[in-house]
């Protein structure tokens, strides 16, 4: 069935006013319920730390299931999460999807999580997320999915944009002292693999001046070296 335009407008208004991840999640949950789902979950994987990216999850699942999921380490073996990491197409929960994690699937159904839909997203800053909508009864039919396809996909993007906006500022490294326009310029060329000599030629400055700017950036970013400074600046959005 077609959804009235206020569905998008009301959600956008709520998301624009949100100043915390909890407020964003409540707006998403309200939209999910309008679409006929009891439960909503969003997992956001930040790009930092590089070696072990931080994962943040927001959901209204039963508390017993939240505790069990964490205790059992199900995040590491959840087939829906694994799918979202490599494929941004929507996926439905079913026996075939969870064939490699029967215990997880059985326990989830016992908690009323029986019929679900999920889709992941990835932005240019390396931040990945996945929205999951689920309910305890009523199988998701092909007709329902067709009717609600645009709203559900739209919700995925709205969730990612809103939560990544808040989370990046909260968790991504930001210099206490802002980088100068020249430092950003030097860092951009460094990110492109240019040497100090090449950067000097491009910007018509001396090699010692290039190195001076790089040294300042490394200090401001509290990075171990210029490579780490480039990575941190990219993740923080300072080079875009």
| pLDDT tens, residue by residue, 86-101 | 999 999 999 999 999 9
DSSP-derived 3-state class of residue 18 = coil
Give the Cα separation of 90 and 80 in Å (integer). Answer: 10
Task: Please indicate, yes or no, whether residues 220 and 185 belong to a single structural domain of this protein.
Answer: yes
CATH number at residue 201: 1.10.10.10
Greater confidence (46 vs 5) lies with 46
The number of folded domains in the chain is 2
Task: Please indicate, yes or no, whether residues 188 and 140 belong to a single structural domain of this protein.
Answer: no
Greater confidence (165 vs 219) lies with 219
pLDDT tens-place string over residues 180-226? 999 999 999 998 889 999 999 999 999 999 999 999 999 998 888 88
What is the residue-averaged pLDDT of the chain? 88
Give the Cα separation of 196 and 181 in Å (integer). Answer: 17
Q: Which residue, 118, 139, 171, sits at the end of a domain?
A: 171
**What local confidence, expressed as pLDDT, does residue 8 receive?**
73
pLDDT tens-place string over residues 7-43? 777 787 888 788 888 899 999 999 999 999 999 999 9
Q: Which domain holds residue 214?
A: 181-236
Residue 193, Ramachandran bin (φ over 0: left; ψ between -120 and 50: alpha; else beta): left
**What local confidence, expressed as pLDDT, does residue 156 receive?**
92
- For the full predicted model, state whether its pTM sits above 0.85: no
Is the pLDDT at 44 greater than 70? The verdict is yes
Task: Please indicate, yes or no, whether residues 131 and 201 belong to a single structural domain of this protein.
Answer: no
Task: Please indicate, yes or no, whether residues 54 and 156 belong to a single structural domain of this protein.
Answer: yes
Structure tokens at 198: 């090449």
CATH number at residue 114: 3.30.450.80
């Amino acid at each position: 069935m077609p959804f009235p335009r206020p569905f998008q407008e009301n959600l956008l208004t709520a998301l624009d006013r949100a100043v915390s991840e909890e407020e964003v999640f409540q707006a998403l949950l309200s939209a999910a319920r309008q679409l006929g789902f009891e439960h909503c979950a969003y997992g956001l994987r930040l790009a930092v730390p590089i070696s072990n990216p931080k994962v943040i999850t927001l959901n209204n699942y039963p508390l017993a299931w939240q505790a069990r999921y964490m205790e059992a380490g199900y995040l590491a073996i959840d087939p829906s999460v694994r799918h979202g990491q490599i494929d941004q197409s929507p996926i439905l929960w079913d026996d075939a999807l969870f064939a490699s994690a029967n215990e997880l699937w059985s326990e989830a159904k016992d908690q009323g999580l029986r019929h679900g839909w999920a889709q992941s997203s990835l932005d240019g800053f390396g931040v990945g997320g996945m929205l999951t909508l689920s309910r305890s009864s009523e199988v998701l039919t092909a007709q329902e999915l067709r009717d609600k396809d645009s709203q559900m996909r739209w919700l995925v993007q709205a969730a990612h944009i809103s939560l990544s906006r808040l989370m990046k500022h909260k968790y991504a490294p930001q210099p206490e002292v802002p980088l100068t326009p020249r430092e950003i310029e030097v860092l951009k060329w460094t990110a492109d693999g240019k040497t100090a000599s090449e950067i000097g030629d491009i910007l018509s400055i001396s090699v010692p001046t290039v190195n001076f700017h790089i040294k300042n950036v490394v200090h401001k970013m509290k990075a171990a070296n210029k490579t780490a400074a480039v990575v941190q600046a990219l993740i923080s959005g300072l080079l875009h």
